[in-house]
Amino acid sequence: MRGPAIIGVDTGGTFTDIVAHVDGELRTHKLLSTPHNPALAVLQGLRELLPGSLPFGLTYSTTVATNALLERKGARVVLLTTAGFEDLIEIGRQNRPQLYALEPWRAEPLVPRNLRIGVCERMLYDGTVHVELKPSSIRKAVERVRRLRPDAVAVCFLHSYANPNHERRLGKAVARLGDLFCSLSHELVAEYREYERLSTTVINAYVGPVMSRHLNELSAGLDGRRFRVLQSNGGAISAAVAGREAVRTCLSGPAGGVSGAWRVAQALKLDRTITFDMGGTSTDVSILEGGPRYNSEWTIDDLPLKVPSIDMHTVGAGGGSIAFVDAGGVMKVGPQSAGADPGPACYGKGRLPTVTDANVVLGRLAASSFLGGRIALDRDRALRALRQLGKRLRLSPEAAAEGVVRIVNASMERAIRRVSVERGYDPREYALIAFGGAAGQHCCELATALDVPQVVVPLHPGLLSAWGAATADVQRDHVKTVRLVDPAFGTLRRILQPMQELARAEILAEGVRRDRLRIISTADVRYQGQAHEINVPCDSRYASAFHSAHKRLYGYADKARRIEVVNVRVLAQGRTARPRMTQAQAATAQTPAHHRVRSGGHWKSARIWPRSSLVVGRLLRGPALIVEFSATTFVPEGWRARMHPAGHLVLVRGN
């Protein structure tokens, strides 16, 4: 029987990627994005890939909310907050992003001063009302909102996580003004730390109207068929909810890649992996330990966002990063990037040497097979750029190129070590999953530096985000600050229950079957007086789980000390029909081309294998290049590559 097609769409700045699973067959499509109206490329791509009326379930990963925020093209927002704290949005945490700047700078607040309204009310940390919100104050505030004619309203009162009554009442009154996008802080993040909650609420109001409009447009193009949107936590949610809570999608792009990688890890039965997503201007790394981890401390453009998102760390270095020699005579790579325009020198426009140019010079990117030959790489031009760089250090262009690669690898290594120490793990126990345009050229050497024994390059590594969207579970999360010292589990259970019921109802409303529903409850716990929490499963053994996690992370535990449960969290997942990623066609035998690659200061002869020609189980020894449409994988000497039956490329160290 034919089931509905399962589709994942990922729109990025340059390309829109689509993967579709139709009748057990995997179809893929990559087309240029249409940034002025991203829906156009999505609809065109779907038309080209699938016949018109096929029923489908679609999950969409979009950067519309992120871009609205980054480009400051969001809505006109009025902020309602506790009187006396109208400037909190501007004061922030009172720090500056650059430590040694003569003229430090931070982003302008999203709400200018004349659009901030102080409301006479005050809650205390335990939820008691200190100053009652009077009906007259509500009337006055609403009247001022009406006169300011905003597109959206954000409401954030002090301690509203402990008692949301005032926010709710004001929210209701604002809603009566008619068609006005309204976000209340306790609905988005019922968690303490006012500036972060305020910022999240304001961002939501700022990007929400833009996102809703976009999703409505797409929905119209899909003839009103329902679809879901990927959130930053790697889970999907209906477009209607995604429009209302658009802030939850702000980090969904990289989250799609990580969830795609997690599906790959599951297929290969790898429990512990590090994802390594290296693109043109930046690189994201993330740790998967029986699934993605979540974190809710994020910033975009120095603005904090407190929504649970897949935990990852971004480094400002990628294939387009520019190499130069500084005033102290030392080679540096990045953070300046050649971007898409002019791009690396080998693309034919730029002149400055980039990481990609270094890879071309070293033979780690084959000039002829880049993006299926769509862009011919100009090796001579890359060589000229590297020669210029090398001259300053009295090095040959090849030696300079090797230097560029070593340095960029060192900065990646630093990022991965940082992520693992934050988590208390040793990278040696992990496998690396490499994807994104530039990862394949660096993954094996990086693994060597980290002493990681195994690297996986997934099938269609350039489409992994779309794949992550296609296979995403439906997901909702809720959090509540409780601040209880040594609470009995029964107390926590009573607090969790309504949260679990709400989450359950929300997931069922998405059309998920009851037996596919999973609810995970966790708690953020710390020793009393400590200022940082560890997230542990919230069951009757939460205390011992905390002690052992503390021991693992920080080297000590103190069972005599009282512990405090700061927040409780509920994560509800609804499993959707999940296709298997498989290779579309059988391998076509091809003789590999001969090629030269440089590593360790010497040229070595290597072979170029089209990935489509690799037979399952066949073993390849490095040095070799494995090329495909969206990626090139460099297998250095001392590494072996093998094709896994599921289509993923597995690289291992040793002979």
Partner 1 sequence: MKARQKRRSARQSSVDIDPITLEVFNHRLSAIAEEMGVALCRSAFSPNIKERRDFSCALFDAYGGLVAQAAHIPVHLGSTQLSVEAAIAERPMAPGDVVMLNDPYAGGTHLPDVTLVAPVYLSRERRPFGYVANRAHHADIGGGTPGSMPLATEILQEGLRIPPVRLVAAGRMNEDVLDLFLANTRVTDERRGDLLAQLAALRLGARRLVELSGLAGRRRVAAAMLALPAYTARLMTAALRRIRPGLYQAQDWMDDDGAGALSVPIRVAVRLANGRAVVDFHGTAPQVAGGINANFAVTTAAVLYVFQCLAGQSIPANAGLMKPIRILAPEGSLVNACFPSAVAGGNVETSQRIVDVLFKALARAAPEMVPAASCGSMNNFSIGGRDINRHRDFAYYETIAGGAGAGPTRAALSAVHTHMTNTLNTPIEALEASYPMRIVSYSIRRGSGGSGQHRGGDGVRREIELLAPAQATVLTERRRLAPFGVNGGQPGKRGLNQFFSGGKWRRVAGKVTLRVQIGDRIAVETPGGGGWGRRATPRRWDAET
Rg (CA), the chain: 26
Q: Which is nearer to partner 1, 562 or 618 (CB)?
A: 562
CA distances in angstroms from 341 to 157, 280, 309, listed in the order given: 45, 11, 31
The answer to the question of residue 417 lying near partner 1 (CB under 8 A) is yes
Strands (DSSP E) contained in 463-513 are: 474-485
Cβ 314 to partner 1 shortest distance, Å: 15
Interacting residue with partner 1 among 46, 69, 156, 158 (CB under 8 A) = 158
Q: What share of the chain is helix, strand, coil (3-state, %, to 5)?
A: 35, 30, 35
Cβ 140 to partner 1 shortest distance, Å: 19
Q: Mask: binding to partner 1, 62-91, rule CB under 8 A, as x and -?
A: ----------------------xxxxx-xx
Cβ 536 to partner 1 shortest distance, Å: 15
Stretch that binds partner 1, among 156-164, 224-232, 467-475, 602-610 (CB under 8 A): 156-164
Sheet strand arrangement including 77-82: 116-119, 77-82, 152-156, 181-184
Interacting residue with partner 1 among 1, 531, 589, 619 (CB under 8 A) = 531
Nearest 5°: phi and psi at 91? -70, -40
Q: Are 65 and 207 in contact (CB under 8 A)?
A: yes
Cβ 550 to partner 1 shortest distance, Å: 8
Strands (DSSP E) contained in 390-506 are: 431-435, 454-457, 474-485
Stretch that binds partner 1, among 10-18, 102-110, 601-609, 623-631 (CB under 8 A): 102-110
The answer to the question of residue 413 lying near partner 1 (CB under 8 A) is yes
Stretch that binds partner 1, among 364-372, 524-532, 540-548, 642-650 (CB under 8 A): 524-532
> Taking the CB of residue 93, how many other CB atoms lie within 10 A of it?
11
Nearest to 65 by CA among 205, 179, 254: 205
Q: Mask: binding to partner 1, 298-317, rule CB under 8 A, as x and -?
A: --------------------
Cβ 361 to partner 1 shortest distance, Å: 15
Stretch that binds partner 1, among 279-287, 345-353, 376-384, 525-533 (CB under 8 A): 525-533
The answer to the question of residue 294 lying near partner 1 (CB under 8 A) is no
The answer to the question of residue 560 lying near partner 1 (CB under 8 A) is no
C-alpha span between 269 and 645 (Å, rounded)? 13
The answer to the question of residue 111 lying near partner 1 (CB under 8 A) is no
Q: Mask: binding to partner 1, 186-205, rule CB under 8 A, as x and -?
A: ------xxxxx---------
Q: Which is nearer to partner 1, 330 or 616 (CB)?
A: 330
SS3 readout for 75-114? CCEEEEEECCCCCHHHHCCCCCCCCCCCCCCCCCCCCCHH
C-alpha span between 529 and 531 (Å, rounded)? 6
Strands (DSSP E) contained in 290-435 are: 294-295, 298-300, 303-305, 309-310, 313-315, 321-325, 331-337, 431-435
Phi-psi region of 289 (alpha: psi -120 to 50; beta: other; left: phi over 0): beta
The answer to the question of residue 100 lying near partner 1 (CB under 8 A) is yes
Cβ 526 to partner 1 shortest distance, Å: 9
Interacting residue with partner 1 among 330, 340, 488, 584 (CB under 8 A) = 330
Q: Among residue numbers 369 through 398, which ones bind partner 1 (CB under 8 A)?
A: 393
Q: Mask: binding to partner 1, 27-66, rule CB under 8 A, as x and -?
A: ----------------------------------------
Q: Which is nearer to partner 1, 89 or 267 (CB)?
A: 89
The answer to the question of residue 527 lying near partner 1 (CB under 8 A) is yes
Interacting residue with partner 1 among 14, 32, 48, 124 (CB under 8 A) = 124
Q: What residues have CB less than 8 Å from 40, skipping those under 6 apart?
A: 34
Q: Which is nearer to partner 1, 189 or 258 (CB)?
A: 189
Compute how many residues bind partner 1; rule: CB under 8 A: 68
In single-letter form, the type of residue at position 560 comes to A
β 454-457/431-435 pair status: parallel
The angle formed by the CA atoms of residues 392, 393 and 399, to the nearest 5 degrees, is: 120
Q: Mask: binding to partner 1, 424-463, rule CB under 8 A, as x and -?
A: ---------------------------x------------
Q: Which is nearer to partner 1, 395 or 587 (CB)?
A: 395
Q: Which is nearer to partner 1, 421 or 615 (CB)?
A: 421
What's the sign of the alpha-carbon dihedral 212, 218, 223, 226?
negative
Interacting residue with partner 1 among 60, 161, 181, 298 (CB under 8 A) = 161
Interacting residue with partner 1 among 51, 178, 329, 600 (CB under 8 A) = 329
Q: Integer distance in angstroms from the first to the last C-alpha of the chain?
A: 47
Structure tokens at 234: 């790697």
Cβ 455 to partner 1 shortest distance, Å: 19
CA distances in angstroms from 261 to 266, 310, 484, 569, 625, listed in the order given: 9, 12, 37, 25, 22
Question: Which long-range CB contacts under 8 A does 550-555 form with residues at least 24 apart?
Answer: 552/424, 553/423, 553/424, 554/424
Nearest to 572 by CA among 617, 514, 635: 514
Nearest to 275 by CA among 266, 267, 284: 284
Nearest to 151 by CA among 208, 198, 108, 200: 208
What's the sign of the alpha-carbon dihedral 355, 358, 360, 362?
negative
Interacting residue with partner 1 among 51, 52, 178, 529 (CB under 8 A) = 529
Q: Which is nearer to partner 1, 421 or 584 (CB)?
A: 421
Cβ 195 to partner 1 shortest distance, Å: 7
The answer to the question of residue 105 lying near partner 1 (CB under 8 A) is yes
The answer to the question of residue 206 lying near partner 1 (CB under 8 A) is no
Nearest to 60 by CA among 75, 50, 45, 70: 45
Cβ 86 to partner 1 shortest distance, Å: 7
Cβ 363 to partner 1 shortest distance, Å: 19
Interacting residue with partner 1 among 72, 96, 213, 391 (CB under 8 A) = 96
Nearest to 11 by CA among 161, 165, 211, 177: 211
Q: Which is nearer to partner 1, 224 or 329 (CB)?
A: 329
List residues near partner 1 by CB under 8 A. 84-88, 90-96, 98-106, 113, 124-126, 130, 158-159, 161, 192-196, 325-333, 393, 402-403, 406-407, 410-411, 413-414, 417-418, 421-422, 451, 483, 527, 529-532, 550, 553-556
